[in-house]
């Protein structure tokens, strides 16, 4: 009975979590659309177009700078200047990142709830801690190792050189030498 209640409560929590996530996703889409609208407005009011014209104007100014006279720089529309001065894009990007963090938090909570809903799996038997227990349970290896063979493990001699900022260090790998056992 307790397990059923716990499962039902977890299901309700999961549903509320999904609704909250959907609301956050809609809010995130609204903010992203608002940023996109500010960047891609038609004409000279869009921030992308204003930036493109400014860059093009500066390239021309560099070319013309060798000549005598005055060069008039591009001035963005007053609305674009107001958006840049107020930092609306930065504010919206921070809001978008905050919403992304909240969505990630809801995802983590959803995974925790899902883990609570799943019943615990029973182990398939006693824990095996040694090779003798393994052999007793599953049997021994059918193909015996032939006598007269020997494998040795030696530390690898490789040393990675240091720099002014980092010390040199030896590798942690080991090499296996195969051979025959001589008596």
**pLDDT, tens digit, for every residue of 105-148?**
988 888 887 777 666 455 566 788 888 888 888 887 776 666 77
What's the average model confidence in pLDDT over 169-180? 85
What per-residue confidence (pLDDT) applies to 145? 66
What per-residue confidence (pLDDT) applies to 165? 84
Supply 15's token pair.
Answer: 């549903």
Distance of CA 128 to the CA centre of its chain: 36
What per-residue confidence (pLDDT) applies to 154? 87
What per-residue confidence (pLDDT) applies to 30? 95
Dihedral angle computed from the Cα positions of residues 93, 25, 9 and 12, in that order, rounded to the nearest 10 degrees = 150
Tell me phi and psi for residue 132, to 5 degrees.
-65, -40
Residue 25 has pLDDT above 60, yes or no: yes
DSSP string across 21-55: HHHHHHHHHHHHHHHHHHHS-SGGGSHHHHHHHHH
Provide, rounded to the nearest whole percent, the portion of the chain with pLDDT above 70. 86
Rounded CA-CA distance 30/27 in Å is: 5
pTM: 0.55
Rounded CA-CA distance 86/80 in Å is: 10
Q: Is residue 14 very low, low, confident or very high in pLDDT (cuts 50, 70, 90)?
A: confident
Rounded CA-CA distance 41/35 in Å is: 10
């Amino acid at each position: 009975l307790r397990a059923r209640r716990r499962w039902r409560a977890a299901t309700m929590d999961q549903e509320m979590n999904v609704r909250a996530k959907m609301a956050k996703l809609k809010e995130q889409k609204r903010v992203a659309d608002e940023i996109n609208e500010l960047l891609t407005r038609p004409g000279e009011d869009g921030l992308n177009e204003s930036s493109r014209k400014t860059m093009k104007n500066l390239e021309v100014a560099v070319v013309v700078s060798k000549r005598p006279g005055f060069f008039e720089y591009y001035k963005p529309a007053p609305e674009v200047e107001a958006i840049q001065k107020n930092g609306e894009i930065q504010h919206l990007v921070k809001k978008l990142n905050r919403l992304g963090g909240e969505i990630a938090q809801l995802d983590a909570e959803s995974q925790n709830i899902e883990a609570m809903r799943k019943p615990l799996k029973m182990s398939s038997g006693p824990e095996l801690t040694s090779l003798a227990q393994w052999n007793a349970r599953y049997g021994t290896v059918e193909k015996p190792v032939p006598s007269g063979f020997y494998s040795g493990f030696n530390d690898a001699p490789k040393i990675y050189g240091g720099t002014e900022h980092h010390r040199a260090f030896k590798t942690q790998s080991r090499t296996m030498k195969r051979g025959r056992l001589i008596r």
